[in-house]
Amino acid sequence: MTDGSVVIELGSAQSGCWRTRQEVVSVASVRRDRPSDQGGRLVVATISVKRRWHIPEILEKTLCDVILMVQERKIPAHRVVLAAASHFFNLMFTTNMLESKSFEVELKDAEPDIIEQLVEFAYTARISVNSNNVQSLLDAANQYQIEPVKKMCVDFLKEQVDASNCLGISVLAECLDCPELKATADDFIHQHFTEVYKTDEFLQLDVKRVTHLLNQDTLTVRAEDQVYDAAVRWLKYDEPNRQPFMVDILAKVRFPLISKNFLSKTVQAEPLIQDNPECLKMVISGMRYHLLSPEDREELVEGTRPRRKKHDYRIALFGGSQPQSCRYFNPKDYSWTDIRCPFEKRRDAACVFWDNVVYILGGSQLFPIKRMDCYNVVKDSWYSKLGPPTPRDSLAACAAEGKIYTSGGSEVGNSALYLFECYDTRTESWHTKPSMLTQRCSHGMVEANGLIYVCGGSLGNNVSGRVLNSCEVYDPATETWTELCPMIEARKNHGLVFVKDKIFAVGGQNGLGGLDNVEYYDIKLNEWKMVSPMPWKGVTVKCAAVGSIVYVLAGFQGVGRLGHILEYNTETDKWVANSKVRAFPVTSCLICVVDTCGANEETLET
């Protein structure tokens, strides 16, 4: 850096301080330099100083040529310093304004302590921002156009946004023309709406802001009944004064998206609704929507646009051969929590998640199990349904558009099956679909973009059963199978997951033993490519994907089970062995990703 320039670095979020590397005479200009992990750095060019002994004198504010009058406090300063730090003062002192010639300049509606801090910043490039002064500093920095301080206040507030203050910060950002801060606050509001609408800040919003908020498609909710609950809470907070706005507020609720059960039992029973004919019409239109056929529903646009779905993804593992061992793995904090599991043990079964319910099907004990065990993750309840028409083990399963598909498997030690069956969760009925092109068991199956992909497996569970590398895809719309490019490595008992137009085959075993290699199928190119191998060879691999990360949570090596979880980043092609988190202790477990959103909050629907 050239002589006479200063680097001001943003301190930690806790201290909120600027640090200087050398003293400042006067600030000439400010520009943004390359960002860093701590929020970037500001480079301030200064007037070159040859006689550095002058610096203390100026910092002590001798030879001042202006006095800022703030209420009854007098703050001495140099015009050139203020003008260099503030566009506001630059205009004031370099134009024909009256203040340009006045020794004393009065700043009305200003806080003395805040102005002193800003003047100090002009001399030292150092200022402290905290939760007590940030709003006043931001207001003043915006008014007097001191961009470094404004930027620092914005960065500080962005780090402080939470459910209790996000609405207020959004309003503040709008008033002070801080689009970056407003975008951060609004995004938080939408992402965490189910927490935000239960705060006092939400209840105190004016009608204009509430109607605007409830109209957003990007509200993240478990179901539309939460938007309804927010509207009713706001109306009841000051019912006498807010009753005139009832129709405007409830018009933002998308009643067709609310379940028929909730509409009839809860909404129609609400006194606010019963006493208002216009609101009753909205509810009735929502009820009528549920009577329409799927084709007729598609023609309706108004009030049927879906909100952004709120998710809380976890990976559920069920003991299989040890049914008492059932747990959730939370990828956010790497924690394990127990699941209540009353079902009997079953070997070589499959599980799949759809619409709050985990379906455990297939498998055997001494004989194939005909029953399908179902677990509602929101209600924490277990019940049973009729299982696949052909009971078997070593099958694969996945879900798509309200239907559970099962493929292949074997009938207790016999050869693999071509079988392909479908369970409709709406009608609770099983149907046999066109058979696969290849018989297989111990294979993988995933849904991707509405299609069903089947990969690998073997021709039978006995030792002589040939391991397969063949792949095929099923289109539910045409009920047809199509052969795909085969995998590079034949494998069975492998993990198979779908991540962003790629299907990853993880580990498993071939005819010789366990595999550590991993390959992915590029759906667009119809080809397989090898990627980084696992740091562990797994004869059996139990894995699932959340976001761009594949988690290997259980597995068997042949002589022992997986000790700690493994993580694979599909974007960086890197594996990490997490030595701090133990793997699931049962190698013959069942695994699937579930959405537990609503499981730990008050459920509105009854």
What pLDDT band is residue 559 in, cutting at 50, 70 and 90? confident
Q: What is the pLDDT of residues 507-522, one digit of tens each?
A: 999 989 999 999 999 9
Q: According to the model, what pLDDT value does residue 26 have?
A: 28
246, pLDDT greater than 90: yes
Burial class (CB in 10 A: 0-12, 13-18, 19+), 413: exposed
Task: For residues 279-300, give the mean pLDDT.
Answer: 81
When mean pLDDT is compared across 21-30, 315-324, 381-390, the lowest value belongs to 21-30
605, pLDDT greater than 50: no
What pLDDT band is residue 345 in, cutting at 50, 70 and 90? confident
Fold of 311-595: Neuraminidase (2.120.10)
> CB-based contacts of 218: which residues, under 8 Å, 6+ apart?
190, 307, 308
When mean pLDDT is compared across 94-108, 193-207, 255-269, 392-406, the lowest value belongs to 94-108
Q: What is the pLDDT of residues 81-90, one digit of tens each?
A: 999 999 988 9
181, pLDDT greater than 70: yes
Task: For residues 299-311, give the mean pLDDT.
Answer: 73
Among 473, 475, 521, CA closest to 501: 521
50, pLDDT greater than 50: no
Number of C-beta neighbours around residue 144 at 10 A:
22
Fold of 192-308: 1.25.40
Task: For residues 75-79, give the mean pLDDT.
Answer: 90
What pLDDT band is residue 368 in, cutting at 50, 70 and 90? confident
Task: For residues 318-340, give the mean pLDDT.
Answer: 84
Among 508, 491, 502, CA closest to 543: 508
Q: Give dist(CA 75, CA 65) in Å, integer.
A: 11
Q: What is the pLDDT of residues 446-470, one digit of tens each?
A: 999 999 999 999 998 776 689 999 9
Q: According to the model, what pLDDT value does residue 523 have?
A: 97
Task: For residues 214-221, give the mean pLDDT.
Answer: 92
User: 414: which 2 tokens?
Assistant: 């016999």
Element (H or E) spanning 209, and its range? helix 207-214
59, pLDDT greater than 70: no
User: 345: which 2 tokens?
Assistant: 């043990």
What pLDDT band is residue 60 in, cutting at 50, 70 and 90? low
- Beta-bridge partner residues of 395: none
Q: What is the pLDDT of residues 401-450, one digit of tens each?
A: 999 999 999 986 678 999 999 999 999 999 999 999 999 999 999 999 99
Q: According to the model, what pLDDT value does residue 463 have?
A: 66
Chain centroid to CA 320: 30
Q: What is the pLDDT of residues 32-44, one digit of tens each?
A: 333 333 333 332 3
Q: What is the pLDDT of residues 572-581, one digit of tens each?
A: 999 999 999 9
Total residues found in the chain within this entry:
606
Q: According to the model, what pLDDT value does residue 103 have?
A: 85
24, pLDDT greater than 80: no
586, pLDDT greater than 90: no
What pLDDT band is residue 54 in, cutting at 50, 70 and 90? very low
Q: How far is CA 139 from CA 73, 158, 531, in A?
A: 19, 16, 53
Q: What is the pLDDT of residues 469-479, one digit of tens each?
A: 999 999 999 99
Q: Give dist(CA 313, CA 57) in Å, integer.
A: 62
Task: For residues 553-565, give the mean pLDDT.
Answer: 88
328, pLDDT greater than 80: yes
Task: For residues 99-107, give the mean pLDDT.
Answer: 83
Q: According to the model, what pLDDT value does residue 275 have?
A: 86
* In the chain, where the domains are located: 5-154, 192-308, 311-595
Q: According to the model, what pLDDT value does residue 42 have?
A: 33
Task: For residues 483-494, give the mean pLDDT.
Answer: 97
| Mean per-residue pLDDT over the chain, rounded | 85
Task: For residues 74-99, give the mean pLDDT.
Answer: 88
150, pLDDT greater than 50: yes
Q: According to the model, what pLDDT value does residue 143 have?
A: 92
Task: For residues 130-153, give the mean pLDDT.
Answer: 93
Give the alpha-carbon dihedral of 380, 385, 388, 392, to 10 degrees: 70
Q: According to the model, what pLDDT value does residue 403 have?
A: 96
Task: For residues 120-132, give the mean pLDDT.
Answer: 90
562, pLDDT greater than 80: yes
66, pLDDT greater than 70: yes
Q: According to the model, what pLDDT value does residue 461 have?
A: 77
Its sign, for the CA torsion 169, 172, 176, 179, is positive
Out of 2.60.40.10, 2.40.37.10, 3.30.710.10, 3.10.20.30, which CATH number does the structure's domain 5-154 have? 3.30.710.10
**In contact, 446 and 497? CB cutoff 8 Å:** yes
Task: For residues 329-343, give the mean pLDDT.
Answer: 89
